Amino acid sequence: MKLLPILLLAIAGSAAGQIQLDGQFGDWADSPDWAGAGAYAGLSMQSNDTWLYLHITFAEEIALDETILPNNQVLLIDADDDPSTGANYAGLGLGVDVLVNWPQRTVVRYTGGSGSETFYDIGMHTAPTYSSNEFELAVRRADCNMGSSSAVRIMWYSDGIAYPAGGALHTLADTPYSFEPLPFERADETAVRVAFWNLNGRVGQGNAEAAMQRILAATAPDIIGFSEVSNTSASAMASRLNDWIPLSEGSWNVVKDDYDLMVASRFPIGASFPDVFRNFPVVINDVPGWEDPLLFTSSHLKCCGGASNEAQRQSEADEFMAFMREAFEAGGELELPSEAPAVFGGDLNMVGLAGPIYTLVTGDISDEAANGPDFGPDADGSALTEWPILQSDHPFDYTWENPGSEFGPGKLDYLITRDDVAPLLHGFTVNTAQMSVSRLFQYGLNSGDSEAASDHFLVVGDLAATGNLSDADADGVPDLLDNCVHVANAGQADFNGDDLGDACSDLDGDGLSDAVELNLFNSNPLDADSDGDGIDDATELLNNGGGCTGDFNQDGLISIGDLLALLGQFGNLC
C-alpha cells in the first residue's frame, strides 16, 4: 500500500500527545518505549488532557476483538499507579481500575463502574478494526478514572504472560486536546468530489431524510455510492436528490443494483453491472478532467464475524478484483482504457481478517482457481491506495458507531482509488456530534444530524485528475486547468485575474473578446466604447469606420492578422 503526500502531510501536523487514530503509525516514534518480549514486539504511550493513546505491536497477526484468530488478550489499566486501589488481577501486583477483555469484548471498571460494561463506556477506539500485528488505541481519561491522575500504569496479559513485566508507567500529559478542523470546501484543482454513505435503511424516515439533506447540501458531492437502500428505488432517490441538492443544469442520474446498492451522479451514467455480488460497478462518462470514463463502484461486503462470513467477504473481494482485472486487461464484459480512473468504496465491513482489504488494494486474489490470477490494479501496474481519511472535526477514523453494540466504534467505510490517475487531494468523514456550534452554523448542520441520518458517517473525497486528461480545444492545457475550455489559448492569458481567459471573455459586452481588444485593437476591454464616440468598439473596429473592408486591425493591409481577428469572434453571440 502506498504512502502518499496527503498521508505525509497529515502526520506532519501531529504534535506530541495529539495522535491521529487512523491505523497509520508514522506519528509514533520509530522505537517503542518498551522493548518487546515473547508474543509482544513493542509498546508506546502518549497522552493529552483528554485521551490516553497506546501503540501495541505483536509478534504475530492478531484480531484483537475477534476469535477468528484465537487470542486471550487482556489490557489492564491502573489509572492512578496505586496498587492499593482497584483489583489485584491475577496477583500481578497492579491496582487494576479498568480491565479490557478483548476477545469477549467486555470492560470491567473496578473503580467507578457498574462491574460489566462496553468499549463505549471508556471511550475505547481501535485502529485498524481488522487483523494486524500492529494497533493504535485510545481511551478517554475521564472514563477510566485517570482524569486527575499524574501517572498511569498499564499491562497486557495473556496465557499467564504479563507485558511489560511490572507494567508500563506513563506520566500523563496535561497538553490540551486540539485538532484543526478540516474544511468542507473543495480542494483546489479538484476534478470530482465523490462520497460513500450507508444509509442504514432510513430512507423514507422524515427526521433521517432531513438530516441527510443537510449533510449532502453541506458537502455537495458529484458522485455518491449508497448502500443499505433496498427500501427505495433509483427514480425515488433521483427525485430526492433533485430536491435536496438541485443541479444548475439537468437532473441527477441514479442506478440501482438488484439489492441494496445505488450510484448517483451529476454526470451521465453508462453501463452498470449489478451481477457482481455485493459490489456495483458503474461507468460514468464525461467527468471533468479525464478523457476516459470513470469506473465507480459502490460496495457493501458481507457483515460481521464467523468463519462463513469471513469466507464470503473474501470471496466478494476476489470476485470484484477479477472483474476489475478483466475490465483493464481485456477479456471481460467491460473493457476500459488502461489509464481510465477508478474509484471503489463503501461499507466494506472490515472486521475480523485483513484479507479482503488486502485483496482490494493489491490485486492479490485469494482463490485464483475460481477468480483467475493476481494483477496490479493501478494504471502503473502497482497497488491501489486505501486513503486514511479522518473525521472533519476529530482526529479519529471511525465511520460507524452504535453505543448499544458490544463492538466499539470502527472504520467500516472506505475510499480506494487508482492513485496513479485519481489521487486524493482532500478527504473527510462527517460526524456532526464532534463539530463545534460555530462549525455547525457555518455549514447549516445540526449536532445530531449524523446520528439521525444513519449509524454510518458520510465519507467524502476530492480527487485530482492525472493520466489521460481531456483537452477539448487541443491547446495543450487540460480542461480541468484550462480557463477557456472550448477556445484554444495555450498561454492562458487572463489580464484581470478572474479565472476566465481573455480568449473567451468579453467583459464589456461589446462583441469583441478581451484578447482581441488587448492584442489586436489596443482598445479597452472594460469599456464597450473605448473612444467615447457613441459607436461600440465592435461596430467601429470590425468595420473599420467605413474604411478598407476586411482590415480589422487597421494596419492598412488585409493579412493573416485580420483573419485572426475575425476568427477570434467565432462563437460570440450578436
Q: State the average pLDDT over residues 543-562.
A: 64
Per-residue pLDDT for 201 more than 90?
yes
CATH class of 192-463: alpha beta
More confident residue, 68 or 522: 68
What per-residue confidence (pLDDT) applies to 548?
Answer: 65
Per-residue pLDDT for 234 more than 50?
yes
Q: State the average pLDDT over residues 50-60.
A: 96
d(CA 140, CA 117): 14
**Cell output for 564:** 485572426
Per-residue pLDDT for 9 more than 50?
no
Tell me what percent of the residues of the chain surpass a pLDDT of 70.
87
At residue 546 the predicted structure's pLDDT band, cuts being 50, 70 and 90, is very low
What per-residue confidence (pLDDT) applies to 2?
Answer: 35
d(CA 342, CA 308): 30
**Cell output for 544:** 473599420
CATH class of 5-171: mainly beta
What per-residue confidence (pLDDT) applies to 65?
Answer: 92
At residue 7 the predicted structure's pLDDT band, cuts being 50, 70 and 90, is very low
d(CA 210, CA 221): 17
At residue 104 the predicted structure's pLDDT band, cuts being 50, 70 and 90, is very high
More confident residue, 574 or 346: 346
d(CA 256, CA 298): 10
What per-residue confidence (pLDDT) applies to 12?
Answer: 34
Q: Which helix (H) or strand (E) holds 59?
A: strand 51-62
Fold match, 5-171 / 192-463: no
At residue 117 the predicted structure's pLDDT band, cuts being 50, 70 and 90, is confident
d(CA 34, CA 447): 41
Q: State the average pLDDT over residues 186-200.
A: 96
Q: State the average pLDDT over residues 25-48.
A: 93
Tell me what percent of the residues of the chain surpass a pLDDT of 90.
71
pTM for the full model? Answer: 0.83
Residue boundaries of the structural domains of the chain: 5-171, 192-463
How many C-alpha atoms does 459 have within 13 Å on its Cβ side? 31
At residue 486 the predicted structure's pLDDT band, cuts being 50, 70 and 90, is low
What per-residue confidence (pLDDT) applies to 472?
Answer: 54
**Cell output for 293:** 470514463
DSSP class of residue 455? S
d(CA 265, CA 274): 17
At residue 1 the predicted structure's pLDDT band, cuts being 50, 70 and 90, is very low
What per-residue confidence (pLDDT) applies to 466?
Answer: 87
> What is the spatial order of strands in the sheet that 385-386 belongs to?
269-272, 279-284, 294-300, 342-347, 413-417, 385-386
Residues 119-140: pLDDT tens digits?
999 999 999 999 999 999 999 9
What per-residue confidence (pLDDT) applies to 511?
Answer: 73
Q: Indicate the average pLDDT of the chain.
A: 88
